[in-house]
Amino acid sequence: MSVLSPPRPPAKSKTAPNASIPRLRKRSFRQRLRRDKVMLALVLPGFLFFVVFNYIPLLGNIVAFLDYRP
């Protein structure tokens, strides 16, 4: 086959276009959580580390810019 030969047309099927493909049902949020519980357990420590050391210290900025009067 040379580089300049035209591409072949797609082969035509004798069945209906989507007859053999089963329809996938949408899973509920709870089902997806149950399926991915191992992945979530691996992500949780990193997420907590990020929140504790990056977002909680931002609350100190609110105190820093308050007009303090003893």
Q: pLDDT tens, 21-61?
A: 777 888 899 999 999 999 999 999 999 999 999 999 888 88
pLDDT at 2 over 70: no
Phi/psi at 58 (nearest 5 deg)? -65, -25
In angstroms, the CA 2 to CA 11 distance is 21
Domain-wise residue ranges, the chain: 29-63
pLDDT at 11 over 80: no
In angstroms, the CA 36 to CA 30 distance is 10
pLDDT at 1 over 60: no
In angstroms, the CA 17 to CA 2 distance is 31
